[in-house]
Copies of this chain bind each other. A is one copy, B any other.
Amino acid sequence: MLEDKNEQRTSIAKLGEFGLIKRLTDHVKLTHKSTIKGVGDDAAVLEFNKKQVLVSTDLLIEGVHFDLSYMPLKHLGYKAVMVNLSDIYAMNGTATQITVSLAISNRFSLEAIEELYAGIHLACATYNVDLVGGDTSSSNTGLLISITALGEVEKKDVVYRNGAQANDLLVVSGDLGAAYLGLQVLEREKQVFKANPNAQPELDNYTYLVERQLKPEARKDIPKLLKELDVKPTAMIDISDGLSSEIIHICQQSNTGCNLFEDKIPLDPQVIATCEEFNIDSTTVALSGGEDYELLFTIDASDYPKIKANPNLTVIGHLTEQNEGMHLVTRANQKIELTAQGWNAMLRG
């Protein structure tokens, strides 16, 4: 479960900052026609012509957002890119470029940072995104990754959080809660490993959960699918903090209420089985788990026929007038006020 200890350890100090950047980015191929100049000058130069430009940025910090005792560096690099691209897709755009800044403590070797970059490069290749700049620095403790993603979108296609209206349908891509449970499984195995370093991790029953935690995929396909289905969402957001908190963002910014139906929330069978095993409520996990990187959006009710047969999309509720409030309608048909407890609150609770 622990990352492979690389035999070779080259000190980063020996290379220096310019040497390190050159080594990590020398073979980068630029594929977007909007990328005029990437790494190697004071700034990257891009050209979007008449398209609007999307910019989003996220920090990932060791000990806060990730634990290297079960997160392999290559996966971490991949995930760090996903977290950022997800925000661009949530605007209904196409991700085009990223910049990557790293703060690295001296416990990381060149080989370790190359592993991290292997994940970043793989994400860029898979999602057709150009790595165009960044900064590296030493850090006194741990590893920090700061990524800024850029994207493009036709002016008429951009989707904000604030465009939803009463009676719009609430739709989610994929399924929810698996990434959070994957983290719980990995945390449990870490404790087992600490108690007995010879123990082999038992992950066979949790492959989907662990994959959702360690190698999430941003939903690049959804803006494309919606275009093909001729559906423009009225509002959209990505699910990073948990379903309830994201629904509340849309409702508050759109001045609406909502009814979310518990029995409609899409859950993978492994999520249901593992919730039973761990004795956790699966709805709580979906509402507050976070890190799903699915897209949550609202559509006009008249667009329902266009999406209803699609296996990627699930209607989970509808919006209401603001004064009706934001509610979860349980399987027992009870209405409970929706609160944004989020990940940390749940862990404490």
Interface residues of A (CB under 8 A from B): 36-37, 40-50, 52-59, 61-65, 86-88, 90-91, 93, 97, 99, 101-103, 132-142, 144, 146, 148-151, 153, 155, 158, 160-162, 236-238, 253
Contact = CB atoms under 8 A, between A and B. Distances in A.
Interface of A: prevailing SS: strand
Nearest to A16: B342
B65 A133 contact: no
Contacts of A65: 137
Identical copies in the complex? 2
25 contacts: A36-B52, A37-B160, A41-B160, A41-B161, A42-B91, A43-B54, A43-B55, A43-B93, A45-B52, A45-B54, A46-B52, A48-B48, A48-B53, A55-B148, A55-B150, A57-B99, A57-B135, A57-B148, A58-B101, A59-B102, A63-B140, A64-B103, A64-B138, A64-B140, A148-B148
Nearest to A34: B53
A56 B36 contact: no
A43 B56 contact: yes
A62 B137 CA distance: 11
B40 A56 contact: no
A34 to B, nearest CB: 8
